Amino acid sequence: MLSAKFFKKIGMKTFVLCFVFACCSFSGWAQNNDSMMVKKIVDEVLINGHSYNNLRKLCKDVGQRLSGSENFLKAVQLTSKMMKDAGADTVYLQECSIPHWVRGEKEKGEITFKNGKKYQLHLTALGNSVGTPQQGISSAKIIEVKSLSDIPKMANELKGNIVFLNIPMNPTYINTFRAYGESASSRTRGPSLAAKYGAIGALVRTLGVNINDIPHTGVTRYNDSFPKIPAVAISTNDAEILSKELKNNQVKSVWFFSGCKILPNVIGYNVVGEIRGSEFPKEIITVGGHLDSWDLAEGANDDGSGVVQSIEVLQTFKSLGIHPKRTIRAVLFADEEMTGGGSDAYLSNAITNKEHHIFGLESDAGGFSPRAFGFDASDEKMKTIEGWKPLFYPYGVYEFYRGGGGADIGPLKKIGATVAGLMPDSQRYFDIHHATTDVFENVSERELKLGAGVMAALIYLVSEYGI
Amino acid sequence: MLSAKFFKKIGMKTFVLCFVFACCSFSGWAQNNDSMMVKKIVDEVLINGHSYNNLRKLCKDVGQRLSGSENFLKAVQLTSKMMKDAGADTVYLQECSIPHWVRGEKEKGEITFKNGKKYQLHLTALGNSVGTPQQGISSAKIIEVKSLSDIPKMANELKGNIVFLNIPMNPTYINTFRAYGESASSRTRGPSLAAKYGAIGALVRTLGVNINDIPHTGVTRYNDSFPKIPAVAISTNDAEILSKELKNNQVKSVWFFSGCKILPNVIGYNVVGEIRGSEFPKEIITVGGHLDSWDLAEGANDDGSGVVQSIEVLQTFKSLGIHPKRTIRAVLFADEEMTGGGSDAYLSNAITNKEHHIFGLESDAGGFSPRAFGFDASDEKMKTIEGWKPLFYPYGVYEFYRGGGGADIGPLKKIGATVAGLMPDSQRYFDIHHATTDVFENVSERELKLGAGVMAALIYLVSEYGI
């Protein structure tokens, strides 16, 4: 460790620099006040915040919260109570229709090599996938696909065989979400597209950057015009092995079984907690994350962190006795992972009730150290927003970029809201995404709280000044 | 998770913006070339880097590497081999005198309350501390100290009693090293200062921001003019409990035992690996971390990460076939944690051999996502360095601040070198610092490699242009 004396020196210097920077960039009393309020808010979360303890409860008392599961309903109850405890004026549930997919009997699979040896695959059924027959499915020809655009040219080979969608995430992208964005269609659309051309099952390379044995699930979507084929993710390491052995012509056959089923939709709920605005109660600011998770772990970062951070925003206003001028709603959305049923319900309610939504902020990129906010805003609104940027620099948020909101909050743009997203450091996200590793122990208390703190500060500014 | 399509869009936008920014800020062919070289270097580490696998070996095949232990010598052997495998022209050991402190029989301690109940403390002996007698030490009066400056005023109370140094790290500092800098003297100087005024033993609040049961060790230093008293760290949670119960006047006594011993110094080694410069071989650039660790865990982040990142710098030059103009030395320092014996030896060798050291870079703040470099450089040199800053922005390094180097590299300033330090995100550092939690599993492959990548890029620029 670098010496204490040294850090005392540079720490102070950095702090003074940041403080001077934050102060100089503004003029006037109001903006100095903003700087002090932002500090007060972030300090409150770092010292007294409830988000980390709430996340522990959500992960350990409930655990996985798969859409349509009993656990999802338990999470609705628990987080409703958390909203009340946080001091929301009103807490209510918003009904919606959500999918009910069940994993069933544990999946398994293996490669048989031409020398007779077998290799047990590390695999997990994809969400929304159909299962295989009880005896599983197998094929002697495994058709490796490196790009979805190749599929239509491979109709002859695909027919009657298992497709192997081997589209790695690009490790050189520093924003790992960009790499995910480029490769995720292998999972979401790949199996159905291969089915169109006759494939009978799909092995999909896990969407993770590192090479290891942990398979990641996630939704696959069927086009109703084509047969629904069973689809599983295999680990990145297995994908490397399979690809190499196919190239070496050493693979005799691949077999896999999955026991999952798609059941009829059920009723789910968004959990909504509100602090009514004191001056402009009809101007609504939403802050949210999604309550559902995959079933392999606790959904600690996807999106337990967004859930507890959103509740923390309400908590912070109440703890500091801030009466927001505009109405603030924390919303825990149902069913982000499969069909967006919760987000649809929230939007359609807003339309039906002619609500005036001015701003929405989503946290669904993990509870890691915050680095940026993304905004989907008009040029003029972006000018106001840019003026706030120096307030966040001392807390490690150094970038305000164009483009924001996410799957749940993004749709509020349709009714005129400016939408935004918290963008934390993305290096670890795809280590835990949709995998057994997404547990409470992989969340850092300070990172989570720092994210909640800057979220609360941004919501404060919008509640104070509008947008 | 935010939708793939959305991230594809914003990822690309951010990338294009960063790229444009990086390109526009420069003019001329050479600087575009620099941008491309930096990308080539970082890409190489992210795709083919050895640092993560090397760290696994260091942590799992050797484990803790306490100064003076057999394991430290094993680590010298293992990392010498890694240096050779990385392609160093020359690998050699540099002898130095290092302390030999042993923990001995496991420490234990308890609070006895006035109601007769006992509470088992979570504690760990401080490094370099003497042990207690076999029966331990106890006192009925526990003297709580909130600031070292209070100690001289408390001579009457301290005499014959146990001192409780309860100086928390400030949780509102975003740079956690600043909080450490302000509080660390409670551990390094506090016990000896209390001994000056008659204290017989010391309980020191763990230097960690979060409240939990994990005690952290670390060096304490004795002033030879005062008695050497046994000193242990207690967990932050225990410190909160003890402080509360003292305030409530519920504590009957405290007892603790520690079995540690200070043995005579032994011979240790710095491990040095070098790539000789092709044009200016006498201009030396050092990049390093420290090889010793505390004994409670694997020293994965303190400072295994700095060790493997430094080796990765050499590896990257070799893998990409870059022949540096100036000589690059990766140095794994002995004994950073106790007396700085390795650093002293490196400096005195440099003086004896009249070496011309132009630059030194230290990585000893954890293998987390890089955010900044700190530089201790003249104003003029800082101008050159500032010109490189935009090259690092696309990799998340957005700040070049004044002040840099660390305990091992910092002393090179005395012989004219510009010294620098890698400053990664600091939120998690004091979760693992000097504690049982400093294990390989708490290091992220991408974060570690990204740090190594920007270090290699900075060393490349200095090797190319001098400073």
pLDDT, position B31: 72
3-state secondary structure at position A45: helix
B253–chain A nearest CA distance, Å: 30
Bridge pairing between strands B251-257 and B137-139: antiparallel
Contact B13 A403 (CB under 8 A): yes
Distances (CA, A) of A240 to A166, A206, B157, B302: 9, 11, 68, 33
Q: What is the mean pLDDT of chain A?
A: 94
Contact residues on chain A for B3, CB-CB shorter than 8 A: 406-407, 410
Of residues A391, A355, A397, A409, the one with CA closest to residue A465: A391
Query: Residues B428-436: what's their mean pLDDT?
Result: 98
Element (H, E) at A387: helix A379-392
- The per-residue pLDDT for range B71-109, each reduced to its tens digit, is 999 999 999 999 999 999 999 999 999 999 999 999 999
Contact A4 B188 (CB under 8 A): yes
Query: Residues A299-317: what's their mean pLDDT?
Result: 98
- The per-residue pLDDT for range A238-279, each reduced to its tens digit, is 999 999 999 999 999 999 999 999 999 999 999 999 999 999
Q: Please name the member of B6, B43, B444 whose beta carbon is closest to the beta carbon of A406.
A: B6
Please tell me the total number of residues recorded for chain B in this structure. 467
- For residue A132 the two structure tokens come to 């295989």
Q: Please name the member of A174, A180, A218 whose beta carbon is closest to the beta carbon of B7.
A: A180
Strand order in the sheet with A399-402: A90-102, A261-275, A326-333, A280-290, A356-362, A418-424, A370-376, A399-402
Q: Is the pLDDT assigned to residue A211 strictly greater than 80? A: yes
pLDDT, position B21: 44
Measured CA to CA, the distance from residue B424 to residue A408 in angstroms comes to: 32
Measured CA to CA, the distance from residue B19 to residue B203 in angstroms comes to: 53
Of residues B169, B182, B128, the one with CA closest to residue B340: B128
Q: Is the pLDDT assigned to residue A31 strictly greater than 80? A: no
Contact residues on chain B for A303, CB-CB shorter than 8 A: 1
Contact B446 A210 (CB under 8 A): yes
Contact A171 B303 (CB under 8 A): no
- For residue B12 the two structure tokens come to 């690309």
- Residue with the larger pLDDT of the pair B391 and B25: B391
Contact A178 B421 (CB under 8 A): no
Question: Could you give the count of Cα atoms lying within 13 Å of B125 in the half-sphere of its Cβ?
Answer: 25
Contact residues on chain B for A3, CB-CB shorter than 8 A: 406-407, 410
Q: Please name the member of A9, A404, A450 whose beta carbon is closest to the beta carbon of B427.
A: A450
Pick the residue from chain B with its C-alpha nearest to A211: B445
Can you tell me the ipTM of this complex?
0.93
Bridge pairing between strands A142-145 and A162-165: parallel
Of residues B204, B213, B218, the one with CA closest to residue B235: B213
Residue identified by tokens 């939120």 is: B427
Residue identified by tokens 């924001």 is: A404
Cβ–Cβ < 8 Å for A361, A312: no
- The per-residue pLDDT for range B16-28, each reduced to its tens digit, is 444 444 444 445 5
Give B55's contacts (C-beta < 8 A, 6+ positions apart).
B300, B304, B305, B307, B308, B367, B440, B443, B448
Ranges of H-type helices in B338-428? 341-352, 379-392
- Residue with the larger pLDDT of the pair A17 and A158: A158
Q: Please name the member of A2, A174, A406 whose beta carbon is closest to the beta carbon of B395.
A: A174
Ranges of H-type helices in A197-322? 236-247, 305-319
Torsion of CA B33, B37, B39, B41, to 10 degrees: 180
pLDDT, position A6: 44
Cα-trace Rg, chain A: 24
Contact residues on chain A for B362, CB-CB shorter than 8 A: 2
Q: Catalytic amino acids of A?
A: 336
Measured CA to CA, the distance from residue A232 to residue A202 in angstroms comes to: 6
Q: What are phi and psi of B9, to 5 degrees?
A: -65, -55
- Angle made by CA atoms A327, A333, A339, in degrees to the nearest 5: 140
Contact residues on chain A for B446, CB-CB shorter than 8 A: 171, 176, 209-210, 427-428, 431
pLDDT, position A28: 55
